[in-house]
Amino acid sequence: MKKHINRMGVRTAAAVAAMVFAANAAWALEPFKVQDIRVEGLQRVEPGTIFASLPLRVGDDYNDEKGAAAIRALFALGLFKDVRLEATGNVLVVVVEERPTIADVDFAGTKEFDKDTLKKAMRDVGLTEGRPFDKALADRSEQELKRQYINKSLYGAEVVTTVTPIERNRVNVTFTVTEGEPAKIKDINIVGNTAFSASTLKGLFDQVHQVGPLFARQAECRPGNPAFLLSVAWLPGVPCRFHAGRNFP
């Protein structure tokens, strides 16, 4: 690796953009015995979090391998956008840039769901007040929000995520939703039916639509009853009553 000494006499290990690049730092520190460790750049993260994660202690011999391991360990916390190591004399300096913290999560244009329901869905994927923010988290949250609308047959729902920086390295996250219209079934094609006509089976679809799972519970789910076939296809997990002495086909 290329060695670098800056004008101030402070040796610097390259900042890495992500954990996977830690082992390929552009600059290296010459080996030295660590007499002290100092942390710079913290805003909300406790210094103890850094020290507990570092694979280096006072009295250890610093080398490139240990430096790369330290950078990987700190990135793995998910709390920092950037981490770099410097050395002033025999003092190891850990310089970090914290990820912004989520101050508020809000929704606009959501008529199908109340905000509390959506906030719970966002919490389930890790997006909530007080948590570190990153783009990957926002992308997962946006996909989860779209999934909620797909479950409501609103396949055309569009979601735009807006991240607004505010003071003290925090951000507000707003999801603006255009819900669109519910999807409607234009036609039903039945393939492979031999025992029952398509019109008979389509008539059963209408009954299921009207009474839901109750239809399957009330129906005699025995071989030869088309209601049994429909309940298996459309209502999995709904218990059916089989008649004694009859074999499952």
Judge: domain 101-178, CATH 3.10.20.310: yes
- Region 103-117: mean pLDDT is 93
**Closest to 115 (Cα-Cα) out of 103, 104, 107:** 107
Percent of residues in the chain assigned helix, strand, coil, to nearest 5: 35, 25, 40
101-178 shares the fold of 2-98:
yes
Kindly tell me if the per-residue pLDDT of 176 is higher than 60. yes
Higher pLDDT, 190 or 87: 87
Q: CATH number of the domain at 2-98, out of 3.10.20.310, 1.10.3660.10, 3.40.50.10190, 3.50.50.100?
A: 3.10.20.310
- Spell out the alpha helix ranges (H) of the chain: 47-53, 64-76, 115-124, 135-150, 198-211, 213-218, 226-234
Neighbours of 143 (CB within 10 A): 11
CA separation (Å) from 202 to 191, 193, 205?
A: 12, 11, 5
Q: Is the pLDDT of residue 67 over 60?
A: yes
- What is the residue extent of each domain of the chain? 2-98, 101-178, 185-249
The residues, ordered by sequence, that sit 6+ positions from 60 with a Cβ below 8 Å of its Cβ are: 33, 34, 66
pLDDT of amino acid 244: 34
Tokens 């660590």 belong to which residue? 34
Using one digit for the tens of pLDDT, what is the confidence trace for 177-234? 999 887 776 777 888 888 888 888 777 766 544 444 433 333 444 444 554 444 444 4
Answer whether 0.85 is exceeded by the pTM. Answer: no
Provide the angle, in degrees to the nearest 10, between the axes of the packed helices 226-234 and 198-211: 60
Distance CA 127, CA 110 (A): 18
3-class secondary-structure state, position 114:
coil
Region 131-160: mean pLDDT is 91
Unique residue bearing structure tokens 């430096």: 67
pLDDT at 94 over 80: yes
